[in-house]
Structure 1
Amino acid sequence: MSERVMPGRTDGLITLGAADGLWVDLTADSAVPTASGAFTCPPAHARTGYVLLGSHAVATVRASGGQWSVSEAEVRRAAAELNAVRMDRQDLVRIGPFRGAPTQEGEEETPLRWRRRITQELREPGGPDGAARRDVGRPYHLAGIDWRQVLVEQTRDGTRRTWWLPRAVVRLLDAAEHTETQWVRAARTRQASAAVAEPSSHLRRARDARGRQTTSPEGPTASPRPYTAELEGQLYSVLSRKPGISRRLAGWACAVCRIAPAAVLDHCHEHGYVRAPVCQSCNTLERPDHLYSNDIRVASRYTRLFRTDTDDWLRHWHRCPGCRARTTLPLPHLAAWTAHIACRSLRPTHRVPRGRTPCGVLRVSWTGSQNAPRSCLLTVAVDSCPSGEHRVLARVPYREAAERFRFWLAETAPAVAAAAGPDRLDGLPAQPRPVVADTGGEGLALF
């Protein structure tokens, strides 16, 4: 793209109006839709000292004449970061509403709070379009992203509405919220230090001097650090109650995607051990799609868990000492693997104009429990068949499913398999959870 001559450019600074036009121009070919007015329309507010563009915070300064401006180089850097994002519109993450969902922990109020903003706007009569018509000043973008263009609304049972966004957009907004939290925290720290060290007159002169300078492209935010198994082997019931754990989580990058900042502490529901801090997007991707407590729908997203990004997810699940020692997965995940991988060849197909498509929707249910493997049985079935059929594909005993998984793990992720098994007890905590009696026991009652 040719260098664009910006009106009103002074020492690398451009006005907010010019920055709006530059942002739209630079991101015209981006996979993620952007909005005009990213600097001048709510929720952007230049007087707070920054404007969010994707996961990047662009600092605002008051130039000569009292006009608010931003660094052109920072706008271009933020646009380049957004243009590098690849978005799959079919890879969706549910953003609400969630019945009985716990409030997000946080010691500081983050102004963005994008999930709350979207939920409030969608719940108003007429949805986001109606809200925009009633009040022109309402926010229509978040961090420069026009989320309305990619929002998907689905209806279950003809009454219940759910809202979904592409995973790439969710990760961007999560990263933007993390960036804003770090920025505000750093600004408060600087203000507290300056109030102690400098008289008020010196403060005013320092602020004026900073306002005449071009801001640093790095800004005061700190990148999340990689997670290196600091929490492995700890019980979630104990660790989640420790004060300051939410602040500590915000300092790590997601242990799975290693891109977005961590937001939740993922743990094994069977054994109770912490796996690792993960972002909201990866936590949603990993969560089984339960229809009932013992019945899950095997959605297309399992392709990423068991085929596309297999190594990352298997390594993550085996951060739980219980799953690693048994060389297996939690029962809902093992059931999904059995349906999606072990029984894939059994799923019928139907002829379509461009070939054949898999029949209906895969579903797997189970009777019994993994704590009594002899009586646990997995049933793989197909629902919503286009021809009106409903058929059971296979009934697989738990032990057979676990054995198939062990062979598949050794072929698919040898490094993960090599670290698993009852003879790999070095990583187990000193005081493991109580042993669960297995009446059919053949060495499976490790926990």
Structure 2
Amino acid sequence: MSERVMEGRAGGLITLGAADVLWAALTAGSGVPTVSAVFTRSPADVQAGYVLLGRCVVPMLRASGGRWRVAEFEVRRAALELSAVEMDREDLVRIGPFGGVAKQEHGEGTPLRWRERIARELWEPGGPGRTAQGEDGRPSHLAGIDWRQVFVERTRDRAVRTWWLPRAVVRLLDAAEHAETQWLHTARTRQINTAVTDLSSHHGQTQAAEGRQTMSPDRPAAPPRPYNGELQGHVYSVLSRKPGISRKVAGWTCAVCRTAPASVLDHCHEHGYVRAPVCQSCNTQERPDHLYSNDIRVAGHYTRLFDTHATDWLRHWHRCPGCRARTTLPLPHLATWTAHVACRSQRPTHRDAHSSRGRKPCGALRVSWTGSHHAPHSCLLTVTVDFCPSGEHRVLAQVPYREAAERFGTWLAETAPDVAAAAGPDRLDDLPTHFRPVIADTNGEGTALF
């Protein structure tokens, strides 16, 4: 520990300047890039009474003499937790821009709102290279993370640009939003209890003080509870409009990864049913990489969806009663599965000097379709290879919708027998007699949220 940090100690508390030095020293080798001066630059604010660092909320305390300090062990805890996170720079999650601005429920947002902050900075003059600054003129940060170092912008047709961050960073920022929401809720409860105490008797004061001690923001918030199908059968267009639903969703753990706190309701756009609460990372991971409304680039993350973690994702998709009863997937997912799995053997390969096998798949897979699931007899899936040396946009296969659905049903029975056993035409308990129309997306991300 540096000499400056030692001088800042006072009964386990250190000055904000010393905390900055300690943070920088402990996170110097972190896989996730961090910023310095996290306690003395925007958005750190002594009036708020805390600094958000990764998943941790570090409270600020006014010591004797009026100087603000923080507990050294809190700084160390936050730094060690963030330094332990492993990051794959190639595993990217799209964070925007999307077709609209996500709606926030009144009073339920968090000050972090990292997606909004990044979008606001990137849309302002200067673009991604612009550095947002606080009132002191120094660059601001998001939960102590230097997201600009790992930010990726991609363009298509020299006009459409998309923004990406590594999945580990997205998970950290989502967890930071959740931790801050819980901390602020507890802080508000503490303030209410304090007000009640001022009007109560001495006995009541003692009880309220004990209650405040158990609700103190210095104590960790209650962890999210596991999701056990509480929203099964609910229609998204109805449930999403209920007051307080965002806070209720945040009380669950993501139903897919079962580690991160949930933040959104994933739903089936073809049948309109809620699947489950999921975290932003999982919601983005399962989202097809749309080029256009009926055209998908089959990216590398589909290996996880249909191979390494296939059972988890199939079980999640079949939380929709419509997909489960018909033993299929929503059309974009079925199209992607057809390209990635059913047509895998048809994809050309070429020599690869860097591979032990000597050959690697050629080009980039793309799948498109005509028609819709409402008219399966006329729906046709076309699988092609872009950037193939033997001919760009080479057509690998054209598969009718019904044939693709039959192939998927066979594959499902072999890959996830328990999921297949729960599916089928005899599982119509909660399924309406008529097809529901595709429900318009209400969270501002358009067709990107299948």
TM-score by length of 2: 0.86
Structure 1 SS opposite 2:6: coil
Indicate how the Cα distance of structure 1 residues 93 and 423 shifts in structure 2: closer, same or farther if over 3 A, else same. same
Counting only pairs closer than 5 Å after superposition, residues 19-418 of structure 1 correspond to structure 2 as 19-105=19-105, 107-127=107-127, 129-131=129-131, 137-198=137-198, 219=219, 221-354=221-354, 355-418=358-421
Structure 2 SS opposite 1:34: coil
Shift of 1:129: 4.7
1:362 aligned partner, one-letter code: L
Shift of 1:218: 5.8
RMSD (CA atoms):
3.0
Query: C-alpha separation between the residues in 2 aligned to 1:153 and 1:271?
Result: 33
Shift of 1:76: 1.7
2:99 aligned partner, one-letter code: R
Shift of 1:356: 3.3
Deviation readout 1:76-117 (Å, 9 max, x if unpaired): 222222122221111111222223243244533421121121
Identity between Structure 1 and Structure 2 (%): 73
Shift of 1:4: 11
Structure 1 unaligned runs (5+)?
A: 438-447
Instruction: Confirm whether residue 8 of structure 1 aligns to residue 11 of structure 2.
Output: no
Structure 2 SS opposite 1:36: coil
Indicate how the Cα distance of structure 1 residues 133 and 51 shifts in structure 2: closer, same or farther if over 3 A, else same. closer
Deviation readout 1:316-336 (Å, 9 max, x if unpaired): 101111111222111110110
Structure 1 SS opposite 2:144: coil
Deviation readout 1:330-358 (Å, 9 max, x if unpaired): 11101100100111111112334424332
8 A contact 2:175–2:261 mirrored in 1: yes
8 A contact 2:190–2:216 mirrored in 1: no
Q: In terms of mean alpha carbon deviation, does 25-34 or 354-363 score higher?
A: 354-363
Q: In terms of mean alpha carbon deviation, does 3-12 or 263-272 score higher?
A: 3-12
Indicate how the Cα distance of structure 1 residues 126 and 406 shifts in structure 2: closer, same or farther if over 3 A, else same. same
Deviation readout 1:115-143 (Å, 9 max, x if unpaired): 12112222233346544689862443210
1:434 aligned partner, one-letter code: T
Structure 2 unaligned runs (5+)?
A: 437-450
- Pairs aligned (count): 425
8 A contact 1:60–1:69 mirrored in 2: yes
2:360 aligned partner, one-letter code: T
Indicate how the Cα distance of structure 1 residues 106 and 305 shifts in structure 2: closer, same or farther if over 3 A, else same. farther
Deviation readout 1:30-72 (Å, 9 max, x if unpaired): 2111111111111112331211110111111112222211112
2:188 aligned partner, one-letter code: R
Deviation readout 1:383-402 (Å, 9 max, x if unpaired): 22245432111122222222
More relative contact order in 1 or in 2 (CA 8 Å, sep 6+)? 2
Query: C-alpha separation between the residues in 2 aligned to 1:163 and 1:361?
Result: 20
2:246 aligned partner, one-letter code: S
Shift of 1:291: 2.7
Aligned position for 2:447: none
Deviation readout 1:283-340 (Å, 9 max, x if unpaired): 1111222233332221112112111221221111011111112221111101100100
Structure 1 SS opposite 2:58: strand
8 A contact 1:350–1:358 mirrored in 2: yes
Aligned position for 1:421: 424
Structure 1 SS opposite 2:165: strand
Query: C-alpha separation between the residues in 1 aligned to 2:21 and 2:95?
Result: 30
Aligned position for 2:443: none
2:312 aligned partner, one-letter code: D
Structure 1 SS opposite 2:60: strand
8 A contact 1:14–1:69 mirrored in 2: yes
Query: C-alpha separation between the residues in 1 aligned to 2:191 and 2:112?
Result: 21
8 A contact 2:153–2:161 mirrored in 1: yes
Query: C-alpha separation between the residues in 1 aligned to 2:323 and 2:372?
Result: 15
Query: C-alpha separation between the residues in 1 aligned to 2:309 and 2:30?
Result: 25
Indicate how the Cα distance of structure 1 residues 170 and 133 shifts in structure 2: closer, same or farther if over 3 A, else same. closer
Query: C-alpha separation between the residues in 1 aligned to 2:294 and 2:413?
Result: 28
Query: C-alpha separation between the residues in 2 aligned to 1:372 and 1:155?
Result: 34
Aligned position for 2:445: none
Query: C-alpha separation between the residues in 1 aligned to 2:233 and 2:8?
Result: 58
Shift of 1:367: 2.6
Query: C-alpha separation between the residues in 1 aligned to 2:217 and 2:240?
Result: 36
1:433 aligned partner, one-letter code: P
Q: In terms of mean alpha carbon deviation, does 83-92 or 96-105 score higher?
A: 96-105
Aligned position for 1:445: none
Structure 2 SS opposite 1:434: coil
